[in-house]
A and B are shown apart, each in its own frame.
Chain A
């Protein structure tokens, strides 16, 4: 039982490049979400999903796309990377009432955009 896994652990991109941050869970949780954490800041919600085929925007969705074709996977796509997207990205899952139940976070992906 791996819980929530995120790949890669660390990535360096050049401005304008695109990439996909992967998030997978084996807990059969309905709810999945993506956050970013900038230095000295709290987490900010980017996108979330309440189930396969359903996604919605969080607080800071611009520059990111998501899809949820399966319960297990919730990839986050950076369309054209910008230095402002340098951050640590966390994926999380929960069951039951969205966000009100315990959220389980992955270990994070550190992204540096040059």
Chain B
């Protein structure tokens, strides 16, 4: 049972426009959410995160929105650039206490930004 779902395997966007990547989760115990970017043959790179007590976090061109009631989060990239072309992973974290964690990733969405 997938607890973190990225339902769009791919997304194409024109350069300069907004990219919106979506992520849904099922476990209401998740208390932190993260987005990573991955280029081929490289390790993932952390992009941005958000605590479950917030509904928005912004860092430059990247903004993450969290809708807890809908168990949905989204990553907005504005404006999109060709260098943003990569696979984006959503991840959700549950801290069960006593130093134990559960970190679950979605399958990723491949973003292509067209010049």
Contacts and interface: CB of A to CB of B under 8 A. Distances in A.
A joins B in a complex: yes
B32 interface: yes
Contacts of B34: 99-100
Contact of B103 (A50, A99, A107): A99
A102 B46 contact: yes
Residue of B93, B103, B106 with most partner-chain A CB within 10 A:
B103
B1 interface: no
B44 A56 contact: no
Given A59-B104, A99-B93, A107 B42 contact: yes
Contact of A42 (B45, B99, B107): B107
Nearest to B89: A42
B99 A56 contact: yes
A45 B44 CA distance: 13
B103 A106 contact: no
Interface string B93-109: 10100011111111110
Interface of A: 4, 33, 40-45, 48, 50, 54, 56, 58-59, 90, 92, 98-100, 102-108
Interface string B31-57: 010101000011111100100000000
Nearest to A31: B101
Contacts of B45: 105
Given A99-B34, A99-B93, A100-B49, A43 B102 contact: no
Contact of B43 (A59, A100, A107): A107
12 contacts: A4-B43, A42-B89, A50-B99, A59-B102, A90-B44, A98-B99, A99-B103, A103-B44, A103-B46, A105-B44, A107-B43, A108-B43
